[in-house]
Structure 1
Amino acid sequence: MTKSELIAELAMANPHLRGQDAETIVATIFEEITYALARGERVELRGFGAFTVKHRDARTGRNPRTGAAVSVEEKTVPFFKAGKELRQRVNAGPAPRTAERKQA
């Protein structure tokens, strides 16, 4: 699912929202998650998962094409750990989309 598909699903599931309002909601959520991670904070969405940042030390890597040693600088990377409910739902198999569930 792309960001635009998420916005379309949100707008369709909530007819009282204009498309632009749905877009603002999705953008705001993503921005706040990004800003919290940039500050080194943990973001937990119950039933979905948790976003954290992990620190990776500097190391010596290898160029896969030539095999030459290359220096890889230290860095901080975002990390996502799926929550229990999300893992269970994914393992249960495909579920109908929100609009399809409402029609059934």
Structure 2
Amino acid sequence: MMWEKVVVLCLATLALAQSEKEAKIVNHQYEIDEDGTYNLVYQTSNDIEATETGKSYPGDEPETGNFVRSGSYSYVWEGVTYTVNWQADENGYFAEGDHIPKK
């Protein structure tokens, strides 16, 4: 009787894991302007959403410069939606969200 429960739990776990692997991109938009600014948006069938904007700033020397990006992403875990807003620039990567501890 116990092994039947183990088999059922294994099958249920396998089914849940497989549904995540089969997530599809349902919306994807990417635009880049002549000045190097870009915008990215995507959504998946398993409730992941992300937006990102960025701009490239060339440096004085070839292959130098800076790239500034910011955006957000959200996902659903056990019925709760988590959102992270972030920024990345010459000072590093910074993220914040209600579920992320504050310093």
Output the TM-score relative to the length of structure 1. Answer: 0.31
Which structure has the highest strand share of the two? 2
Output the TM-score relative to the length of structure 2. Answer: 0.31
Which structure has the highest helix share of the two? 1
- Greater relative contact order (Cα < 8 A, sep 6+): 1
